[in-house]
Amino acid sequence: MIVRMWEVRGEPARFADLISWVCDTAVPRIEVEPLHISSEVFSSTDHRVVVVSKWRGSTPVQLPDPPADLVARKPHAWDFTQVDR
């Protein structure tokens, strides 16, 4: 299983719009993928949105880029694998 963490910093005045776009547009696009297991969306007080998605296999589908007017910085993504302990 691969866990992808996707993070973007939003424009403060458009932060609610960014959250809506992530929840209503971006995440539904990946949730229909056959290897998708689950996704969670988080926000922070410093105008960041994080999506944590879990995938079967080693090639997660990328979230689409958000509209440029909603973000203060382009998104970044990192993939993680679980550590056996």
Looking at residue 20, its amino acid is S
Encode 34-66: b = buried (16+ Cβ within 10 Å), e = exposed: eebeebeeeeeeebbbebebbbeeeebbebeeb
Token pair for 82: 């679980």
pLDDT at 3 over 90: yes
Phi, psi of 26 (to 5 degrees): -70, -55
Average of pLDDT values for 75-81? 96
Yes or no: say if 74 and 8 are a contact pair by the CB < 8 Å rule. Answer: yes
Yes or no: say if 27 and 65 are a contact pair by the CB < 8 Å rule. Answer: no
Instruction: Look at residue 57 in the predicted model and tell me its pLDDT.
Output: 86
pTM assigned to the model: 0.93
